[in-house]
């Protein structure tokens, strides 16, 4: 059997022009923070809008259904014979497409098979096997992305694979899009990243892979920066969208307010804020006066209101 050859996916180079506020234009890939500076673009454009997500989803579904007709346990799917005859050919076929949306398409198919598992009485176990196979293939392809693309460019590519937003009807025929929009709510057509789909479908094997941990750790530490798509904002600030890029401290200003939303920094700030809230509460209980409201009580009330509003906004944006 021929040895595995390294394949490299080259993302489109960044553009030099600043895009206008109005007008829907297709944007190319945005490079790292060193290439693009610390600019904030005003338009909401999708650098991966050209990818055939709808076609890939249906292509994967046909292939998975054709190879899985009986129930197989997880141990059987990991068997050497199944790996050689089923999993590896599918991994090679999908990876050769050189499409970073293929992980998203596999996880979307997993979600659909899990839905069909719930109401399909006769094909219950078969649909579970198909869903598990989609997860295993997605894990293998993600690992191959990491093996073939190392260094900062590899991390940036993996970040695009996991956190770039896609939607199932992207580049679908116009009549299919209109039919889908008429049958479903508008909230179902927002873009979702592959990482969020993996969490929703409880793809534990995929999420526990070393490649996925590598990207999640980079996001948590702030080495990868991007603007996540939230479901609802109290004060919409979509004009401050930042593309997926790598953080370069040498090119960024000393006081950069965008570093406050880095998960690690945010976690430290939340601990400090709660400590201040607890200190104010203890102080109010110790020096409380019956005659009137003290300055410490007023400070505690104002701070507690702001802290509660911040927690409420966090729940709306990212869930519990």
- Tens digits of per-residue pLDDT, 57-82? 999 999 999 999 888 888 999 999 99
Residue 139 above 80 pLDDT?
Answer: yes
Percent over 70 (pLDDT), the chain: 77
Asked if residue 235 belongs to a domain, the reply is yes
Give backbone dihedrals phi and psi of 194, rounded to 5 degrees, phi first.
-60, -35
88-122 in b/e burial notation, b at 16+ Cβ within 10 A? eebbeebbeeebbbbbbbbbbbbbbbbebbeeeee
Question: Does 239 share its domain with 306?
Answer: no
134 phi and psi angles, rounded to 5 deg: -60, -40
Give the integer Cα–Cα distance in Å for 15 and 17: 6
Note the Cα 272 to chain centre separation in Å.
28
- Pick the closest to residue 45 from 60, 26, 63, 61 (CA basis): 26
Domain assignment of residue 217, given as a range: 33-246
Sign of CA dihedral 217, 220, 222, 227: positive
Note whether 273 and 241 are same-domain residues. Answer: no
Please, are residues 39 and 30 in contact by the beta-carbon 8 Å criterion? no
Token look-up 């200003």 returns 253
| Per-residue pLDDT reduced to its tens digit, 157-177 | 999 999 988 888 888 888 888
- DSSP classification of residue 246: E
Of residues 12 and 36, more confidently modeled? 12
Inform me whether the pLDDT recorded for 40 exceeds 60: no
Number of structural domains the chain divides into: 2
Residue 247 pLDDT exceeds 90: no
In a domain? residue 11:
no
Determine, yes or no, domain membership for 20.
no
Residues 240 and 278 in one domain: no
Number of neighbouring beta carbons within 10 Å of residue 142: 26
Same domain, 127 and 166: yes
Task: Band the pLDDT of 236: cuts 50, 70, 90.
Answer: low
Residue 24 lies in a domain: no
Same domain, 241 and 268: no
Among 198, 213, 246, identify where a domain stops: 246
In a domain, 12, yes or no: no
pLDDT, position 316: 76
Query: Does residue 284 sit in the same domain as residue 177?
Result: no
pLDDT of residue 103: 95
At residue 175, the pLDDT reads 84
Q: Are residues 202 and 145 in the same domain?
A: yes
**Is residue 221 located within the same domain as residue 101?**
yes
Say if residue 232 is in the same domain as residue 93: yes
| 106: CB partners within 8 A, 6+ apart | 60, 94, 134, 135, 137, 138, 141
Residue whose pair of structure tokens reads 């499409």 in the numeric block = 99
CA R_g for the chain: 24
Same domain for 221 and 300? no
Assess if residue 165 is contained within a domain: yes
In a domain, 166, yes or no: yes
Are 170 and 302 found together in one domain?
Answer: no
Query: Which of 246, 273, 301 is a domain's end point?
Result: 246
The Cα–Cα gap between 253 and 234 comes to 28
Q: Which of 219, 246, 273 is the last residue of a domain?
A: 246
Phi, psi (degrees; rounded to nearest 5) at 56: -65, -40
Residue at 256 is within a domain: no
- The kind and range of the H/E element at 165 are strand 165-166
Residues 281, 144 share a domain? no
């Amino acid at each position: 059997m021929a040895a595995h050859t390294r394949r490299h996916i080259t993302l489109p180079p960044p553009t030099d022009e600043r895009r206008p506020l109005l007008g829907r234009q297709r944007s190319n890939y945005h490079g790292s923070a060193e290439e693009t500076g610390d600019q904030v673009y005003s338009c909401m454009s999708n650098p991966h809008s050209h990818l055939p997500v709808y076609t890939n989803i249906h292509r994967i579904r046909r292939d998975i259904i054709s190879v899985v007709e009986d129930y197989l346990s997880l141990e059987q799917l990991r068997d050497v014979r199944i790996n050689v005859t089923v999993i590896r050919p599918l991994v090679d076929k999908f990876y050769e497409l050189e499409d970073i949306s293929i992980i998203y398409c596999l996880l979307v198919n997993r979600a659909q098979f899990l839905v069909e598992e719930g109401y399909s009485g006769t094909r219950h176990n078969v649909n579970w096997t198909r869903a598990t196979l989609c997860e295993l293939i997605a894990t293998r392809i993600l690992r191959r992305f990491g093996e073939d693309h190392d260094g900062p460019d590899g991390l940036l590519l993996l970040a695009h694979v996991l956190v770039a937003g896609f939607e199932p009807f992207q580049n679908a025929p116009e009549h299919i899009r209109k039919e889908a929009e008429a049958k479903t709510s508008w909230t179902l057509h927002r873009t979702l990243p592959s990482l969020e789909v993996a969490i929703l479908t409880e793809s534990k094997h995929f999420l526990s892979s070393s490649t996925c941990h590598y990207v999640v750790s980079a996001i948590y530490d702030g080495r990868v920066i991007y603007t996540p798509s939230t479901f609802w904002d109290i004060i919409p600030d979509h004009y401050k969208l930042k593309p997926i890029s790598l953080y370069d401290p040498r090119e960024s200003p000393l006081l950069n307010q965008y570093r406050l939303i880095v998960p690690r920094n945010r976690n430290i700030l939340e601990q400090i804020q709660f400590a201040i809230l607890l200190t104010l509460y203890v102080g109010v209980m110790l020096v409380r006066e019956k005659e009137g409201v003290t300055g410490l009580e007023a400070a505690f009330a104002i701070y507690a209101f702001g802290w509660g509003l911040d927690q409420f906004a966090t729940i709306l944006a990212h869930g519990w």
